[in-house]
Amino acid sequence: MKRFCAFLLAAAAAATATVAQELPALSGAEILRRLDENNLYGTIRYRGTMEIDLGRRVLTKELVAVAQGADRAFVEFVNSEDRGTRYLKIGKDLWMYFPEEQETVKISGHLLKEGLMGSDVSYEDALEAASLAEKYDVSPAGVDTLEGRPCYILELKAKVRNAPYEVQKFWVDGERFVTLKAEMYAKSGKLLKESRALGVERFDSRWFVTELRMEDKLRKGGGTRFAMRELQFDAELPADQFSLRRLGR
Amino acid sequence: MDRAATYLLAVFGAFAVFSAGAQEERGLRLFGRFTADAALAAAEDRDPSYSGYSALRLDLRGGDGESAKLEGSGDLRLLYGDDAAALRKPAEDAGTPSLPAGTVLPYPELKKLFVSVYLEGADLSLGRMIVNYGRGTVFSPADLFAAVDTADLALGRRGTDAVRLLLPLGPLSGADFVASLAPEARDGTAGGRFYGNLGGWDFGAAAFYDGGGLAAAASGGAGDPPAAAAFSLDLKGDALLGVSAEASARLPWKDGAVDAGGASYAAMLGVDYSLGGAWFLDLEYLAVFGPGEASGVFRGARNLFASLSWKADELTAADARVVLNLEEGAWLGIATLSRSIAGRTMATLYGRFGEGDLTGSGASAPAFYAAGCLLTVSF
């Protein structure tokens, strides 16, 4: 029986290796370019749910978000505990609005590594957006199969001091060019965070991750599940959507 | 029952009934939270006694951020113990037949109730709102309108009856004109503030005529500062630490001109930092100087605020804060331990301690100690 199981495992491993090896050879830059074709958009609007697994409890946050490119985003939380709390991101700066005190506060730089609303996603993760090529040297690191999908593995090494992670590894779906898995490492090689795509949907010619789980390996708990719905790409936005004026409305 | 109470009960009561059947697209939403508090307090000149309250916070939001918005927030409190007795005392002193001992007294407070109209190049707001210009957590000499409430565990700020016109000049800049609606126009505060962002630093510069009414109210009636022209600068940005700074000058206004000889000045410098996502430190220093009479909540010559917070996890947090009037040796300490015990529900243990003339207004308090617990349910 043991031999039979070993045979099955070997056969399965051989099959996955075959599937992954079928991917055409692409450079790291080309894979990143194809990834960007899916990830870069004019504008995006969606409703989101964050389920923060704290081990014994799950905190659920509801939000409405709009973004323009990688540089501008506006998020409003609508769940009862955080209702009306808003974030405005312009470039590398972030402001937060507290509705109870009608107060707008610029988030200090040292807070950018903290979890956004207690989640496993840091402000910095949210800010990083699509500026990977500016901060990292990208190189292909082989192929793999993840949940039946052939993937390219990309290794990203920080080339600037202010990169949020020293090393990142991406598993990029070889056919749909979305990131199915990402690992973020410290300089010491310690795994800091891991994200897995839980849902991928097609919008016209664009494949997009609509659900993922991010896990901060330095925190207790089971990570944060983030799901997007009612997605709209290239929606028309008011001219002042990304302004302090609208943040306080 | 004051005017605020009448507003609160009439407006929110009506909307509570109305919004019960309201559809979201009609634009009216009612939400809020329930809080129960019980505390044991003692003072140098007083035996330990019990006080507490149950409070219903109602928040109302109508309209949208595109054309017009209605926003309201108010507390309806039922006071127990010493707090109820304190509320009952003026009536007893005035000879009004007193209520039976043990009667629960309602104490309404309207924090916000205002409407905003969004025009193409301007936002106009009218009503009671929090006009918050301060960069500091506690010390904000630049902030003429939203004085910090030292009696509030969260060190929240109070609303002001005002009319406000915001003229945006860019995504991060604009001109903000505000006039308070004082019972007597000459006691009101009116002027403008320009704000912007340069090199990642938020800044503001303001000039106001200050009739003194708001400052007198903020200090609890202690002192009645003369009318003045008030100028201020404020700043918030990063220099490894989070940095905030404010400076203000207050020049008495006499016979249509400023009296520079009677000026008072204030300067605040604050820093904040976090360690490992678990520890947060906030420090602020406020200096008040000059020959003239100071204004604002804190009028002592040298003041310090320090806060250390610890977040054990997303459910549990502890916080210790102290406000010091270094000149008078007066202080206020607040310590809290909070835990989310169920969905939407937070339990907090707290202690408040202090003594002396914290605000520098001349009213010295005997040493006091209070310990209590608070339960908050959001809905």
User: Is the CB of B132 less than 8 angstroms away from the CB of A57?
Assistant: no
Predicted confidence at residue A7, as pLDDT, reads 43
**Closest CA of chain B from A153, distance in Å:** 31
Give the number of other CB atoms < 10 A from CB of residue B239: 10
The answer to whether residue B21 scores a pLDDT higher than 60 is: no
Q: Which residues of B touch A93 (CB under 8 A)?
A: 197, 200
User: For residue A118, what are the CA distances in angstroms to A209, A216, B277?
Assistant: 22, 11, 10
CA distance B131 to B164: 9
What percent of chain B is modeled with pLDDT above 70? 87
- How many pairs of residues across A and B have Cβ atoms under 8 Å apart? 93
Residue that the structure tokens 């507390």 belong to = B75
Q: Which tokens in the block code for residue A72? A: 């501008």
B25 has pLDDT over 60: no
**Averaged pLDDT, B45-51:** 86
Least confident range of A50-54, A176-180, B155-159, B302-306: B155-159
Q: What was the pLDDT predicted at B20?
A: 46
Residue B79: what pLDDT?
87
| pLDDT above 80: residue B217 | no
Question: Hey, what's the torsion of the CAs at B158, B164, B167, B170, to 10 degrees?
Answer: 10
Instruction: Write out pLDDT tens, residues A127-162.
Output: 565 567 778 899 999 999 998 999 999 999 998 887
Whether residue A3 has pLDDT greater than 60: no
Q: Give the lowest-confidence range in A4-13, B61-70, B242-251.
A: A4-13
Residue B174 and residue A245: Cβ atoms within 8 Å?
yes
**CB-CB under 8 Å, B236 with A110:** no
Coil vs helix vs strand at B240: coil
**Cβ within 8 Å, pair B238-A220:** no
Rounded to an integer, what distance in angstroms lies between the CA atom of residue A8 and that of residue A4? 6
* pLDDT greater than 80 at residue B3: no
Shortest distance between the Cα of B48 and any Cα of chain A, in A, equals 33
Asked if A115 lies within 8 A of B277 by C-beta distance, the reply is yes
For residue B222, pLDDT over 70 is answered with: no
List Cα–Cα distances, B70 to A39, B62, B65, B126, in angstroms.
Answer: 38, 5, 10, 10
pLDDT at A10 over 50: no
**Is A47 an interface residue toward B (CB < 8 Å)?**
no
Average pLDDT over residues B285-293: 91
How far B102 CA lies from chain A's nearest CA (Å)? 33
Name chain B contacts of A57, Cβ cutoff 8 Å: 315, 340, 343
pLDDT band at A17 (very low <50, low <70, confident <90, very high): very low
The band of B154, judged by pLDDT with boundaries at 50, 70 and 90, is: confident
pLDDT in tens, A154-207: 999 998 887 888 999 999 999 999 999 999 999 899 999 999 999 999 998 899
**Mean pLDDT score of chain A, rounded to an integer?**
84
pLDDT tens figures, A87-139: 998 987 889 999 988 999 998 777 777 777 777 777 767 656 556 777 889 99
What's at A72, amino acid-wise? R
Please name the member of B31, B156, B238 whose beta carbon is closest to the beta carbon of A109.
Answer: B238
Instruction: Label each residue of chain A as H, E or C.
Output: CHHHHHHHHHHHHHHHHHHHHCCCCCCHHHHHHHHHHHHCCCEEEEEEEEEEECCCCEEEEEEEEEEECCCEEEEEECCCCCCCCEEEEECCEEEEEECCCCEEEECCHHHCCCEHHHCCCEHHHHHHCCCHHHHEEEEEEEEEEECCEEEEEEEEEECCCCCCCCEEEEEEECCCCCEEEEEEECCCCCEEEEEEEEEEEEECCEEEEEEEEEEECCCCCCEEEEEEEEEEECCCCCCCCCCHHHHCC
B58 interfaces chain A, CB cutoff of 8 Å: no
Q: What is the pLDDT of residues B174-207, one digit of tens each?
A: 999 999 998 787 788 999 999 999 999 999 999 9
A243 and chain B in contact, CB less than 8 A: yes
* Buried/exposed code over A205-239 (b: 16+ C-beta within 10 A; e: otherwise): ebbbbbbbbbbbeebebebbbbbbeebeeeeebee
Contact B9, A58 (CB under 8 A): no
**Cα–Cα distance measured from residue B51 to residue A200, given in angstroms and rounded to the nearest whole number:** 56
Residue B14's pLDDT is 53
**CA of B242, closest CA in chain A: separation in Å?**
5
- Residue B342 to chain A, least CA–CA distance (Å): 9
CB within 8 Å: B130 and A103 = yes
Quote the CA–CA distance of B42 and B155 in Å, as a whole number: 21
- Are A167 and A156 contacting, i.e. CB atoms less than 8 angstroms apart? yes
* CA-based nearest distance B132→chain A, Å: 6
Q: Name the minimum distance, in Å, from the CA of A181 to any CA of chain B.
A: 25
Secondary structure in 3-state letters for B254-291: ECCEECHHHCEEEEEEEEEEEECCCEEEEEEEEEEECC
Q: B290 with B304: CB under 8 angstroms? A: no
CB of B189 closer than 8 Å to CB of B229: no
Confirm if B12 and B31 have CB atoms less than 8 A apart.
Answer: no
**pLDDT tier at B256, thresholds 50, 70, 90:** confident
Of all residues in chain A, the one with the smallest CA distance to B282 is A108
| Residue to test with chain B: of A101, A127, A236, most B Cβ within 10 A | A101
Considering only the C-alpha atoms of chain B, give the largest distance between any 2 of them, rounded to a whole number of Å: 64
How near does any CA of chain A get to the CA of B17, in Å? 20
Cβ-count burial of B189 within 10 angstroms (0-12 exposed, 13-18 middle, 19+ buried)? buried
Residue with tokens 């090689």: A189
| Touching A: B residues 259-318, CB under 8 Å | 272-274, 277, 313-315
Asked if B240's CB is within 8 angstroms of A100's CB, the reply is no
Give pLDDT, residue A127.
Answer: 57
Residue B307: what pLDDT? 96
Q: How far, in Å, CA of B37 to CA of B54, rounded?
A: 6
CA pair distance B17, A99, nearest whole angstrom: 24
Arithmetic mean of pLDDT, A51-59: 87
Work out whether strand B257-258 and strand B264-275 pair parallel, antiparallel, or are unpaired. unpaired
Query: Could you give the CA distance from residue B198 to residue B205 in angstroms, rounded to a whole number?
Result: 13
Residue with tokens 């109305």: B18
Strand partners, B194: B175, B205
CB contacts, 8 Å: A102 with chain B: 112, 129-132
**Residue B22: per-residue pLDDT:** 44
A58 touches chain B (CB under 8 A): no
* B52 touches B81 (CB < 8 A): yes
| B150 CB within 8 Å of a chain A CB | no
Q: Of chain B residues 186-225, which have a CB less than 8 A from chain A?
A: 195, 197, 200, 202
Chain B residues closer than 8 Å to A109 by CB:
238, 240, 242
Asked if the C-beta of A147 comes within 8 angstroms of chain B's C-beta atoms, the answer is no
Pairing between β-strand A86-90 and β-strand B28-43 as defined by DSSP bridges:
unpaired
For the segment B104-146, what is each residue's pLDDT rounded down to a tens digit?
677 788 999 999 999 999 999 999 999 988 899 999 999 888 8
**In terms of DSSP bridges, do strands A136-146 and A86-90 run parallel, antiparallel, or are they unpaired?**
unpaired
Which H or E element spans position B140? none
